[in-house]
Structure 1
Amino acid sequence: MDNSLIDTYRTTDYRVRLAQGGWVSIQVDAALPASLHSLIGERNWAFITAWNPGSQAQPLAQNRAAQQALLIALRKLPRTTCIRPGLGVGDAWREASLFVVGPSLADIDELAQQFQQNAYVHGLGHGYARLRLSSDRPPHAQAG
């Protein structure tokens, strides 16, 4: 994966829909917004999509079907405590996404590979958001 694509992921605005309305933005390498603290506690969280596998544009219907399959898979994970709608916003694109609380990195890594995603954003508790690169071979890497 080239550095320009990684830079694109790092500068994306990762928006989470709040239950009371509105959106809050997660930024890579920044602290988790306070408005998400009570939702997360000390659990793992991730921001992931099934749209545009391999960062290659796909038809809307295909993206929607993949996103629905990801939502179903996330709901089946035993540690999932919350799923909120999300939106990844770049300079010239938007992707529907999901913010999920509870699953382990291993579970999210597996889903990222299954849905052919190059990367996703994750964190633990109120800590910093990190970009995690996906791979078909361990170990997975933190983008630095």
Structure 2
Amino acid sequence: MRELHVVDACELAAAYAAAHYAVVLDGDAIPLRVGESAGDVEAYWAARRYAFITAWNPASRPLSEEANNLADARLVARMQVLDLSFHPAWASDHDRQWRESGWLIADVDPSTLDALAGEFGQAGVLHWEHGEPVRLRMMLQRPGDCADRPCVDWRSGADGDRTADAIP
């Protein structure tokens, strides 16, 4: 398990919610946006639920491309061990100044997704049920001074800013 120490979790959630996401299916890059339906993805790849995760920049601290690629390879190996079905994806800011690789996973249960996020030090992941809007799940407790945002879920519980326990 990794500890996340985020300076401003509310700003981080706003940035993640505003980011652009895409998944590559059959050679097409299909966009995803928090709060919007993902009907195009669901039409290409039928599943009950979906999730986006990355291993890049754990705890939202920039790492070298080499370090990020090594973390990504570990995440791929972990998803293979778990027998998950996944496709390449990425996240970027509006101006494409920041971009990181990730994966869209089909039918991963929420506890496994939380555990993967914790294992790879991620402050947030995307998730949604088929037919529902894409949601952002922050792996942190919502700060008391942070207003609720549509389609943003926060980790609850007494463990403060810790991410989920690693899966076996």
Equivalent position of 2:92 in the other structure: 89
The CA distance in 1 between the partners of 2:115 and 2:41, in whole Å, is: 28
Which residue of structure 1 aligns with residue 153 of structure 2?
142
Q: 2:14 is matched with which residue? A: 7
Distance in 1, matches of 2:124 and 2:42, equals 22
Q: Does 1:125 align with 2:130?
A: yes
Cα root mean square deviation, aligned = 1.8
Cα deviation, 1:57-113, whole Å, max 9, x if unaligned, reads 0011110010011111112224x2x21100101132000010010110100100100
TM-score, normalised relative to structure 1:
0.86
TM-score between both structures, scaled by the size of structure 2: 0.74
- In the TM superposition, what is the alpha-carbon distance from 1:38 to its structure 2 partner? 4.4
> Where does structure 1 lack aligned partners over 5 or more consecutive residues?
none
Work out whether residues 117 and 124 of structure 2, in 8 Å CA contact, stay in contact via their aligned partners in 1. yes
Shift of 1:40: 2.8
Measured in 1, the distance between the counterparts of 2:81 and 2:38 equals: 25
- Could you say if the C-alpha distance between residues 73 and 33 of structure 1 is closer, same or farther in structure 2, counting changes exceeding 3 Å? same
* Residues 87 and 98 in structure 1, CA contact (< 8 A), matched pair in contact too: yes
The 8 Å contact of residues 16 and 87 in structure 1, kept in 2 or not, is answered as yes
Larger Rg: 1 or 2? 2
Q: 1:23 aligns with which of 29, 41, 44?
A: 29
Contact 1:26–1:33, Cα closer than 8 Å, also in 2: no
The runs of at least 4 aligned residues of structure 1 exceeding 2 Å deviation read 33-38
**1:22 Cα offset (Å):** 2.1
Q: Which amino acid aligns with 1:142?
A: D
1:50 alignment counterpart: 55
CA deviation after TM superposition for structure 1 residue 126, in Å: 2.4
Q: Deviations over 1:8-47 (max 9, x none)?
A: 100111110011x220111001111324334133x22100
Matched residue SS, 2:76:
helix
Q: Secondary structure at the match of 2:68?
A: helix
CA distance in structure 2 between the partners assigned to 1:15 and 1:59 by the alignment? 22
Determine if contact 1:40/1:126 at 8 Å carries over to the other structure. Answer: no
Unaligned runs of 5+ in 2: 1-5, 142-151, 155-168
The Cα offsets for residues 115-137 of structure 1, whole Å up to 9 and x where unpaired, read as: 0000000011121110001149x
